[in-house]
Structures are given as structure tokens and as C-alpha cells.
Amino acid sequence: MTGAAMEREPLIRAFLAEAGWGDAGRMPLGADWSTRRYERLHGSGGTAILMDAPAPWTHQVAPFVRVCGLLRALDLSAPAILAADAENGLALTEDFGGMLFADLLDRGEPAEPLYRLALDVLVHIHRNFDPSTSLRPFDRALFLHEVALFGEMGVPALAGRPLDPAAAAALHAAWSEVLTPGLAVPGSLLLRDYFPGNIMDLPGRPGIRRCGLLDVQDAGIGPISYDVMSLLEDARRDVPEELKQAMVERYLAAMPDLDRAAFLDSFAVMGGIRHARILGRLAEIVAANPAAPQRRFLPRVWRQFHVKLAEPVLAPVKRWVQTHVPDNALDRILGVEPK
């Protein structure tokens, strides 16, 4: 246990005691990409999951609790909240077990049924969720803020030099231009990090309730294309193109009132933004520490980003990248010698 975790231990023990889990056995489950920690508790009433979100993640407990409630109101499987102390960043939740979609895929389980189930959850949300619900908006300002990381941190790491003000302004203008078609689809609940590593298989539940939803604290209201893209263009794994296209067609068939061309353009723009944001962060990390474990994701995200740049709707960003990011930038960061 780290020093920071030890400092929070009296607070955690008091929280668990008040929730009736003070005598439970505790097994660490590790941290995610943030500094949140998780433990599985074993008590007389079964098991539960403790989420410990110290600063700077304390503020995420309240939206996590709220979004779980919204999803459960749609008859979807988000964890039941057994107890929460939002002020101190603690929550005790239902235990969904250990069958992540990502682990099932890694074990060689057939991919199509898993992706089909995950996609059908999105269809259910997009058909039934009230987009007027008060949640943070994934709007132009938010997307421009998120993708700014690509210019501020990623491009200097990739190009080996900081951006001058004129280049930074031109990049901002390019992203702003492509966001017009990017946002030209209906809005709904946007989960943001919807991919196999955040989805559990719950075999005892029927239909789409078999899909357990995790890590929903960053949800908001935004374009319906985003979570479909997030599911099918995962930074952590390759999704076969044939499967990806089949799932896009399945989604469009289930949403017959959608403008197909507008959806596909928005899908491309949302992919460009997400891949650019992740690429910026990964490039920054690997440039500072070439041995960082995140290094293994960098080639895939680089490839995903450049595939998206080939989409006509992203032409303004493509022109900027061709001017300001060297073709060999990835090799330089990874230390690959030129041939």
C-alpha cells in the first residue's frame, strides 16, 4: 500500500464500518489509468467493490453515482450503489465479477457476439435516453479543449519542437471547421470510455442487461456517433475492419431515421478527435520515458489517427498535419533507426 493510500485508510475504514462492511475481507484490484483504486470486499452478505478516488479524482464519485442511476432507470446493468461518500471520494458498489469483454476477447472468445451485445446497448440508450437531461455537454468547446492536448503536448513531442502561435491557431481553426459536421447528428447520453475494457459479461442476466457498464463517471450529452466509434476503434486492441463495418451497419439499421452520410461523417470526426487526444498524451509520455508501458499503444493509435485523416471530412486537419508533423515522427519517438 502506498503512502497516500495509508493516509486514507482511517477514512476508508470508517466509511466501510458505517456501510456495514467494516469486518469484510479486502482484496486489492489495482488502479486504472487514473489514480483511482479498487478493492473487492468479502463479507457475510457476499462481495462488493470499493472505489477509492483520492484527489484529484474525488469529484468523480458524485457523477458516477448519478449516471449509474440513470442507466439503471433504463433497465441497463450499471452497478447498484451500496454506499457513497462523494465528498471524500469513496463509493461501495455491486460486484459484477471478473468477466471483462476485453479478457474474453484475449482468451479467444468469438468477437462478434460481444460487440453485437455492446452495440445493442448503445442503440437502446440512443432510442430511450432523454437528451434534455442535465449532464455536462460534449459540445464544440469541450471537444476543442480535449483535442488541444494534441497540439500543446503531442505535436511538440512528435515534431521535436514547440508549435509557434500561428501554427497553433491554424490547428484550432482546422478542428473547429471539422467539428461542424462532427456535431451534426442527434445527441444522447455519451459514456465516453465505452470499450471492452470497461464492459463486463453478466451471463445470468437476459438480453442487453447481460452487458455490465463500468467507468461511467465522465458521461455527458453528446453526439450519438462517439460511443459507437469508441467501441469499434479501441486504442488497446485491433478490431477487424469487416467486424467494424458490420457493427456500423447494424447500428444504422437499428436507427432508420438517421441521416447515414451525416452519421458517417460525424463518426469520422469523433474518431479523429479521440485518436488525436490519445496520440497527444501517448507521445508526450513516451517522449519523456521511452520505456513507458503505454509505448505499446502508440503505433496503433498513430495508425488509427492517420486512417481517419484519409476521410474527406477531416481534410482541414490532414493538411495541417502534413505541414507540421514529420512523416517519420513516430519512428523518432520510438527510437527506430531510419532505413
pLDDT single digits (tens) 151-167:
999 999 999 889 999 99
Taking residues 76-92, what's their average pLDDT?
97
Q: Assign 30 a pLDDT band (cuts: 50, 70, 90).
A: low
- Which residues does residue 222 pair with via DSSP β-bridges, in sequence order? 188
Domain chopping of the chain, boundaries:
3-94, 101-334
101-334 adopts what CATH topology?
Aminoglycoside 3'-phosphotransferase; Chain: A, domain 2 (3.90.1200)
Task: Give the model's pLDDT for residue 7.
Answer: 85
Q: List Cβ<8 Å contacts ≥24 apart for 108-114.
A: 111/239, 111/240, 111/243, 112/243, 112/246, 114/196, 114/201
Query: In degrees to the nearest 10, what's the CA dihedral of 135, 136, 138, 144?
Result: 180
Poorest-pLDDT segment among 29-43, 93-107, 168-182: 29-43
Architecture of the domain whose range is 3-94: 2-Layer Sandwich (3.30)
Query: What is residue 6's predicted lDDT score, i.e. its pLDDT?
Result: 75
pLDDT at 335: 78
- Closest CA relative to residue 91, chosen from 129, 52, 54: 52
- What is the end-to-end Cα distance of the chain in Å, rounded? 46
User: Would the pLDDT of 183 be above 80?
Assistant: yes
pLDDT of residue 338: 53
Enumerate residues 6+ apart whose C-beta is below 8 A from 46. 95
Is the distance from CB of 98 to CB of 240 less than 8 angstroms? Answer: no
Fill in the DSSP letter of residue 207. Answer: G
Question: Given a cut of 90, is residue 245 above it in pLDDT?
Answer: yes
Q: In this predicted structure, what is the pLDDT of residue 36? A: 85
pLDDT of residue 31: 54
- Other Cβ atoms less than 10 A from the Cβ of 54: the count is 18
The pLDDT of residue 104: 98
Q: Mean pLDDT over residues 10-18, rounded?
A: 97
User: Average pLDDT in the 173-186 region?
Assistant: 98
- For residue 333, what pLDDT band results from cuts at 50, 70 and 90? confident
**Region 265-289 average pLDDT:** 95
Predicted confidence at residue 339, as pLDDT, reads 52
For the segment 309-325, what is each residue's pLDDT rounded down to a tens digit? 999 999 999 999 999 99
Cell of 13: 475504514
pLDDT tens by residue, 100-135: 999 999 999 999 999 999 999 999 999 999 999 999
On the question of a common fold for 3-94 and 101-334, the answer reads no
- Tell me what pLDDT residue 2 has: 58
Mean pLDDT, all residues of the chain: 94
pLDDT for 45 equals 84
